[in-house]
A and B are shown apart, each in its own frame.
Chain A
Amino acid sequence: SYELSQPPSVSVSPGQTASITCSGDRLGNKYASWYQHKPGQSPVLVIHHDSQRPSGIPERFSGSNSGNTATLTISGTQAVDEADYYCQAWDSSTGVFGAGTKVTVL
């Protein structure tokens, strides 16, 4: 079965840039989506189609996808961005999530 790998955690200082990677076999040939998930809340879509931001998502969130790796970048990270982030892709008609990356804003 298809698998996506993410680092368990990323730490970033306020105002700095956080980069979260998501690796999968030929992931660049699929579309990657990214979700922000805070405790007790429902997940929020922050990136779709590899690099597109839904309406209402701040410009500091950006994405890319090439080769075997998709990347979510948070520029000028704010305390409110502290959350778990999950990448997601489709393998035929089956969805796959990465294990998630906890972003800590120190």
Chain B
Amino acid sequence: QVQLVQSGAEIKKPGASVRVSCKASGFTFNTYDIIWVRQAPGQGLEWVGLMSPHSGNTGFALKFQGRVTLTRDTSLTTAYMELSRLKSEDTAVYFCAREAFYGSGNGMDVWGQGTTVTVSS
């Protein structure tokens, strides 16, 4: 069935980097954009960035620019988010989601199960 399956929970120290994967199945990977969203404890949803698997184009929220890298391996139908120079404020659940042609109003209709990233010394 159509699904996005994310990698498992991570515990990292401040200053380190973390990479979260998002494996797509049940649909044509290249025809959907992959969006990354996070939710810190007690906070709302926060948009992190997007990648278009077909073109490799990326976009990021201003606060993450320079710290987040989005990549994909089309042969594995997997998208990756790497966040560097981690701070305690990066502790959150990170979600990947798909949207057909971001900005066209289609909405993020399939979501991964979420990956908990804990940043603690």
Q: Please report the number of residue pairs spanning A and B whose Cβ atoms sit closer than 8 angstroms.
A: 71
Q: Which chain A residues lie closer than 8 Å to B106 at the CB level?
A: 48-49
Question: C-beta contact mask, B57-89 vs A, less than 8 Å → 1, else 0?
Answer: 001111000000000000000000000000000
Task: Name the one of A1, A49, A86, A90 contacting B44, with C-beta atoms under 8 angstroms.
Answer: A86
User: Could you tell me which residues of chain A, from 62 to 81, have a CB within 8 Å of some CB in chain B?
Assistant: none
A48 near B109 with CB under 8 A, answer yes
A96 to B105, CA, bound (A): 13
A96 near B112 with CB under 8 A, answer no
List the interface of chain B (C-beta within 8 A of A): 35, 37, 44-47, 50, 59-62, 95, 97, 102-109, 111-114
Can you give 5 contacting A-B residue pairs, CB < 8 Å? A47-B107, A48-B109, A50-B105, A95-B50, A97-B45
- Give the top 5 A-B pairs by smallest Cβ distance, nearest first: A31-B105, A48-B107, A93-B59, A95-B47, A33-B107
